[in-house]
Structure 1
Amino acid sequence: SAIQPQVSWGTSPEMVVGVEGAVPDPAKEEDPIKREGIVRALKYMGLQPNQKITDIKLDRVFI
């Protein structure tokens, strides 16, 4: 199976999802520490839970 290209939605290298995916919903994260990290990253990045990656307007790209 092929792996989709990955993009970061957050502030940590582990906060990635496939280009056809969506930003995670922190309410679905069982680990309270990870959940708080997701909440903080979403706020910092100005994103909403379950927002499609393809709906996010890019203003900066880091390679």
Structure 2
Amino acid sequence: MTTDDNIDDARWRASFWREMATIERAKGALMERHEVDSHAAAALLALCAEQDGIEISEAAQRLS
């Protein structure tokens, strides 16, 4: 891999982990608000995203 490829890969990974952190924060908020477990919170988040026709990460940003 070239230096540019490594930089692009690092940027993609950083973006991915930021999205994952946002999703985890949203799941935590759902777990607190609705007193559900992690699996139920993930399902609620996915349902919100599906109903709005958006990506899960975007739904998570809206809920955070």
Structure-2-length-normalised TM-score: 0.31
Greater share of residues in strand: 1
Greater share of residues in helix: 2
Bigger Cα Rg: 2
Structure-1-length-normalised TM-score: 0.31
